[in-house]
Structure 1
Amino acid sequence: MDFVWISVICGILGFGTVGYFARYVLRQTSGTERIKEITSAIQEGALAFIHREYRTEIIVIVIIAIILALIPVLGWKTSIAFIFGALCSMGAGYAGMNMAVRSNGRTTAAAEKSLNQGLRVSFRGGAVMGLTVVSIGVIGLSILFFAWHKDPNFLAVIPAYGTGASLVALFARVGGGIFTKGADAGSDLVGKVEAGIPEDDPRNAAVIADFVGDNVGDVCGMGADLFESYVETVVAAMTLCIVGVIVAPEAIAPWVTKLFPSQSPEAALRAAWWLPMLIMAGGIVASIIGCFLVRVGEKVEMAALLGALRRGTLSASILTGVFSFLAIHFLNAQIGLFWAVLAGLIAGVLMGESTNYYTSYAFKPTREISQASTIGGGATIVRGFAVGLMSTWPPVLLVAIATIIAFHFASFYGVAIAAASMLSTLGVTLATDAYGPVADNAGGIATMAGLPPEVRERTDALDSLGNTTAATGKGFAIGAAVLNSLGLILSYALAAGLVTISTDGKITAPPELSLLSPPVIVGILIGALIPAVFVAMTMKSVSVTAGLIVDEVRRQWREIPGLREGKTRAQYGKCVDICTRAALKEMLAPSIMTIIAPILVGVILGKFALGGFLISALAVGFILAVTLNNAGGAWDNAKKWIESGQFGGKGSDAHKAAVVGDTTGDPMKDTAGPSLNIMLKLMSVISLLLAPVLSRFPGLF
């Protein structure tokens, strides 16, 4: 029996657990009629946005699929794999978001009973997203493997699957991010800052749009982002093996045989294909166990809640390490591959902890931002930006160390395996991340439904926990994206003939790849430019959308009698529609730039310039993503630290300055920063997809 069947069985097991968790959540009470009314509006808005977004995506997907089918080197199988990857990503995002909008009201109702019950409902709602992503990922890859792994064109087929997933992820992240932060920033500016009304006040017409945005951006967008990373780590590892067979069989066979010394060259290559799938399969089982370990007693403190989630994720990481060791032993592989696995697992955990240190108000960096807010808004911005920049050194060094260890023990292939191991626990990691928006929605619903203060206290505790896990999850996503992109770039370098690999795994580069080569220098400069322009475009889009929301809320207060006094209900659907139209319009320009840039560089300047372009974009994008994510998270929690009673508490001058920082950081941490992850991966996988074409085309200059 091919070992890939183990992945299929584990994927089916994952789907079974998804069904169990979904059934558990849906069996819980939906709450009062007012709760049902609010959740119905959120659900309607979220599904309306995702349907309109998917219609736009399908048009783009069909156009690109036709182009791929018409390129002789790629062909119709590549086109089908591209469509299949896009559909898998869309399905994973839709399923997760659909459960999230059904979990939020039930979490509110559960919090009326106890904090523990609220945690259980919200976490299991998030677990549906996490386990759906990993289950669809391994089964989708297995289907492609069974269908076409013997096809000579498999080198183009596998990257096409990842490209389809990347395209959907980009639209989901950028569009969802513009929606959620446009609604959030607009709601805060006109509500908390201008009118002085509390957060989630029903008099604010943008409140429902803000709730909808949490689901389309932080659930569907994050799910599509990490689904893309998940499948592309396997794509990178498989592609390295396929490239070896097609491009350099005389070198790759001895090199792979060294990793799997007791097997023939053909068996060693098959084992190299199977290993990342087995690691992912073990990760699914470990994630399922980790999800069931997330439980607390009836009377708990905040530390116990956080400990419950960490127990689940750490247990999954340890179990994945054990399962990976067994897989490596069973395949008679060198122990060096296990060190690559450990490097990825440990780097992923430590990157999350690093993010937590720089963004949680339990630690010094964020508290210093709160203190700076006593001076004014300018000091808040300066100190927060400094924290964001300083926070880049741990993740950069961790990725660098993991890369060195993995490369030392298993060359290119080891880097891909390290990325695969980092993402192998995605089932439980994404569950803890998707839990956050559900808990956030639950708190807002409690306020709008006028529930007793103790219910809001419980939902606030769940929301605070969700903010911590969300920040940690974003740090993990950035690290995973960078290591994944690095694996894809290495695959591109080998597939396009940028480098050659010797029988002992040593890499040799031709003079054309020299840093002094003019095309490479130009590629490096353009690569450094693209992430900066991308960030500018996405942040401007949030600003435009927020401005439209502010105008609409002001209009309703001006034209609807009794709304300011709370005697009449706002027209919530108007703001949802404005955010939907603005997000779909504004997401096109950065998305098109991401798709076109590597193609133009490769066609005009050649494959060597494209290599420089990708490495430069990765380095700059990595620094920008960490800075934007951590600065935004630190500003958010600095505001929450003041709201807890520090430096004058709510309504003080320090609080007003902190709100400015929070509003500034929102598009940075929830739109621009996370979208950079996908931009880096999409440009890398597009380059890998076009490698067979670029290897035959020298460029125009």
Structure 2
Amino acid sequence: MSEVTLSGTDTSIVIVVLCIAVVALVFGFMFRREVLATSPGTESMREIGGAVQEGASAYLGRQFRTLGIFAVVAFFLLLVLPADDLAVRIGRSVAFLFGAGFSATIGYLGMNLATAANMRVAEAARNGNRDEGMRIAFRTGGTVGMATVGLGLLGAAVVVLVYRGDAPVVLEGFGFGAALLAMFMRVGGGIFTKAADVGADLVGKVEAGIPEDDPRNAATIADNVGDNVGDCAGMAADLFESYAVTLVAALILGTAALGNDGGLTFPLIIPAIGVITAIIGVYLTKAQPGVNALRSINRSFYLSAAGAALASVAAAFVFLPSSSADLDGVSSRDLFGGGAAAADVNPALGAAVAVVIGIVLAAFILWLTGYFTGTESKPTNDVARTSLTGPATVVLSGIGVGLESAVYTAVTIAIAIFALFTLGGGSLIMSLFFVALAGCGLLTTVGVIVAMDTFGPVSDNAQGIAEMSGDVDGEGAQILTELDAVGNTTKAITKGIAITTAVLAATALFGSYLDAIIKAVSDAETAEAEAIWDQFLVFDPRAMVGMLIGGAVVFLFSGLAINAVTRAAGAIVFEVRRQFREKPGIMDYSEKPEYARVVDICTRDSLRELATPGLLAVFAPIAVGFGLGVGALAGYLAGAIVTGVLMAVFLANSGGAWDNAKKIVEDGHYGGKGTDAHAATVIGDTVGDPFKDTAGPAINPLIKVMNLVALLIAPAIIGLTYGSGANDWLRWAIALVAVVVIVGAVVVSKRRDIAIGEAPERAGVISGS
């Protein structure tokens, strides 16, 4: 067993944290009941909403059955990987199932309630009740937010109570399960939603000249289904796994840095504070007459964040010692043998500052992302104005916004991480623990962040249901337009915060990987320790090669995701065109489109495309680690994190700017709907859809999955490379199998035609006939 234990006081603290997690779930249930108690709208609204809910439920059900295969395989693989004893290995595998199960539950809950709330928001707008519409949409998000923080904290607290000093190892499985399922849900949901959205826009708005959610467009139901499985289910699972993974990293590093003085408890206290402030934040969010809804939402976020910061600072000084010399049970492990207590560090002050840095970082990223993507900001209005010169300039200006915003976001995160490292006073483990605490601080706001994100698709779908039913006009339509515009911005903002949490979590996991290497080297009792540490030098060829491969994997992953959307969207375009051509009565409403066929195409194609990105994420670090060593794997993770943050921000913010530029033109600027300027922004938005809702968000769980895989396999790599158990042939065989799996998956993916319905003469040229 581990030398870190729980005292009677520590056990009481964990029990209190467990109770707070249950309170969060209770409040989530209360918010859900409030939403369902409101009127579901007219008969036509209920009919459309029911079709959306049925399609979303069918998709997620098929997706979960598909992912069940991956879960079973991962369960048994975790049993094989080294751990202290069999009980810990079994616990890690069981925790993996719980992490995956919780992630799936939150995703399904987000989708299920959102599809019920859509029609209720539309009904509130139909009655001219703007305040009620906003309250329903935000309480829907609040339900998902409470489930996210409640289940995340519940899982971590139960594992700490049961496994105590071995809890960090067991929680590796919990975080891996949450991250793996979230990545699959992000990729699959993103492909579904953007295939439907792109197909609906290109054929409906550009070719047929009908509104976005016109019931004559066969892709409209699929588009609304996609919003729920992509934005609601996918983002909820994404933020849940960020929550779980950050807790895992904080507990691993906490036990190494603090030992028995809060190593297993303080990382739980901070999220518990966040639960309480998130509940207050959801209750504070109310529409105010004459005030933009976004300002009301932001005000609640900032008040919740400020409350969490103050309470966290007080908790740090109450629960942590003021000197590292007073630490009890601290491992002597640190880089080159220096312990966490080697430097004179004030853990209480450092932890307090770290949490505040995390919360301030969240607030600043919220403002920065809103600046680059909001409808009232200069960058987005500049993109909208370029529509006067055509789609090419719209696309170019959006790319420019995305590239520029990535720089400012990355520099901001870099400054925060550097500041956190200076708090460690020379102890690398302590510094990395402060990075993990900053992630915990940022995630004190996750309950409100999830509510903000869910607000977006609920408002968007409410407008779609209103337009398809034809039951909302005048003031009601204007209310929904306002809420939809606000929702576009909140979705973009939460994507920025999700990226930031991913980077902090990945950096903390990177530190956990180092701790795992140090422990494995110590256990191996090898005389080659110095040679191992040489591999971590940046100018070592193995580390450099690892960095290049890590960055390249992010590009390949993004390319695979965007190509998948291109293929699936092509199928939708041709299907919708076919229906317009073969059913001319659709345009005069004498015939109904085949909505179910489009939903089925999206479902089939998105599930078919899941495997390749998932296999790449899991097997690439295995190939690098077993093939090139732990130093190359460290370089791989560094390359993936750096490239991932830049790519994710670029994709998310360029897509958000294009989306809101379209909204600006649709509101009557630069000619308004039906003009060439409007068509240009539709093209830009179509390009941005797979950027911001498929590839970009999927990078968040990608970098965490890869870090967790590295963390899990690190002891096995050391064991097969050094000491009495060294076996180069077995190590290289594992790497070769991983490479074969990756190459096979990519080849299968590339064999699918990216363009559907190619012109016969061009097809002949390609085939050589």
TM range (shorter): over 0.9
- What are the residue-to-residue correspondences of 1:489-638 with 2, within 5 Å? 489-497=510-518, 510-638=533-661
Distance 1:91 1:645, change over 3 A: same
Instruction: Tell me which residue corresponds to 2:267.
Output: 276
Normalising to structure 2: TM-score of the pair? 0.85
Bigger shift: 313-322 or 514-523?
Answer: 514-523
- What are the residue-to-residue correspondences of 1:284-683 with 2, within 5 Å? 284-297=275-288, 300-301=289-290, 303-333=291-321, 334-410=348-424, 411-453=431-473, 454-497=475-518, 510-683=533-706
Contact 1:156 1:692 in 2 (8 A): no
| Larger gyration radius, structure 1 or structure 2 | 2
Contact 1:6 1:278 in 2 (8 A): no
CA distance in 2, matches of 1:419, 1:68: 26
- What are the residue-to-residue correspondences of 1:18-417 with 2, within 5 Å? 18-73=28-83, 75-113=89-127, 114-151=129-166, 154-242=167-255, 244=256, 256=258, 267-268=260-261, 271-297=262-288, 300-301=289-290, 303-333=291-321, 334-410=348-424, 411-417=431-437
Contact 1:286 1:320 in 2 (8 A): yes
Contact 1:499 1:510 in 2 (8 A): no
Bigger shift: 643-652 or 156-165?
Answer: 643-652
Give deviations 1:210-231, integer Å, cap 9, x for gaps.
0000000000000010000001
Contact 1:524 1:615 in 2 (8 A): yes
Give the drift of 1:498: 9.5
Give the drift of 1:72: 4.8
What amino acid maps onto 1:294 in structure 2?
T
CA distance in 2, matches of 1:695, 1:274: 30
Give deviations 1:184-210, integer Å, cap 9, x for gaps.
001001100111111100000000000
Give the drift of 1:483: 0.8
CA distance in 2, matches of 1:287, 1:388: 30
Give the drift of 1:458: 1.1
Give deviations 1:272-321, integer Å, cap 9, x for gaps.
22112100000000000000001124xx33x4311211121111101111
- Give 3-state SS (helix, strand or coil) of 1:335's partner: helix
CA distance in 2, matches of 1:71, 1:678: 22
CA distance in 2, matches of 1:76, 1:4: 22
CA distance in 2, matches of 1:58, 1:637: 38
Give the drift of 1:516: 2.3
CA distance in 2, matches of 1:211, 1:464: 16
Contact 1:606 1:697 in 2 (8 A): no
- Give the one of 717, 737, 741 matched to 1:694: 717
Give deviations 1:402-456, integer Å, cap 9, x for gaps.
2122222241110000011001111111101111101111001111111232222
Give the drift of 1:638: 1.2
CA distance in 1, matches of 2:281, 2:81: 45
What amino acid maps onto 2:296 in structure 1?
A
CA distance in 1, matches of 2:50, 2:574: 25
How many aligned positions are there? 668
CA distance in 2, matches of 1:690, 1:599: 8
- Give 3-state SS (helix, strand or coil) of 2:292's partner: helix
Instruction: Tell me which residue corresponds to 1:504.
Output: none
Instruction: Tell me which residue corresponds to 2:758.
Output: none
Contact 1:370 1:639 in 2 (8 A): yes
Distance 1:72 1:418, change over 3 A: closer
CA distance in 1, matches of 2:485, 2:539: 51
Bigger shift: 689-698 or 675-684?
Answer: 689-698
Contact 1:498 1:510 in 2 (8 A): no
What amino acid maps onto 1:89 in structure 2?
S
Gaps of 5+ in 1: 245-251, 257-265, 502-507
CA distance in 2, matches of 1:72, 1:492: 14
Give the drift of 1:175: 0.2
Normalising to structure 1: TM-score of the pair? 0.93
Give the drift of 1:267: 3.2
Instruction: Tell me which residue corresponds to 2:22.
Output: 12
Give the drift of 1:500: 10
Contact 1:97 1:129 in 2 (8 A): no
Give the drift of 1:141: 0.8
CA distance in 2, matches of 1:557, 1:645: 28
What amino acid maps onto 1:82 in structure 2?
F
CA distance in 2, matches of 1:361, 1:79: 46
Contact 1:643 1:650 in 2 (8 A): yes
Contact 2:485 2:660 in 1 (8 A): no
CA distance in 1, matches of 2:493, 2:539: 39
What amino acid maps onto 1:147 in structure 2?
V
Give the drift of 1:155: 4.6
Contact 2:648 2:696 in 1 (8 A): yes
Distance 1:309 1:563, change over 3 A: same
CA distance in 2, matches of 1:434, 1:7: 26
CA distance in 1, matches of 2:51, 2:595: 8
Bigger shift: 522-531 or 404-413?
Answer: 404-413
CA distance in 1, matches of 2:295, 2:29: 26
Contact 2:520 2:715 in 1 (8 A): no
Distance 1:666 1:497, change over 3 A: same
- Give 3-state SS (helix, strand or coil) of 1:418's partner: helix
Give deviations 1:258-283, integer Å, cap 9, x for gaps.
xxxxxxxx531xx1221121000000
Give the drift of 1:149: 2.0
Give the drift of 1:556: 1.5
Contact 1:133 1:427 in 2 (8 A): yes
CA distance in 2, matches of 1:407, 1:500: 24
Give the drift of 1:148: 1.4
Contact 1:166 1:681 in 2 (8 A): yes
CA distance in 2, matches of 1:77, 1:135: 21
Instruction: Give the root-mean-square deviation of aligned CA atoms.
Output: 1.7
CA distance in 1, matches of 2:702, 2:260: 36
Contact 2:81 2:712 in 1 (8 A): no
What amino acid maps onto 2:132 in structure 1?
Q
Contact 1:205 1:575 in 2 (8 A): yes
- Give 3-state SS (helix, strand or coil) of 1:373's partner: helix
Give deviations 1:239-271, integer Å, cap 9, x for gaps.
1244x3xxxxxxx5xxx3xxxxxxxxx531xx1
Instruction: Tell me which residue corresponds to 2:748.
Output: none
Contact 1:494 1:500 in 2 (8 A): no
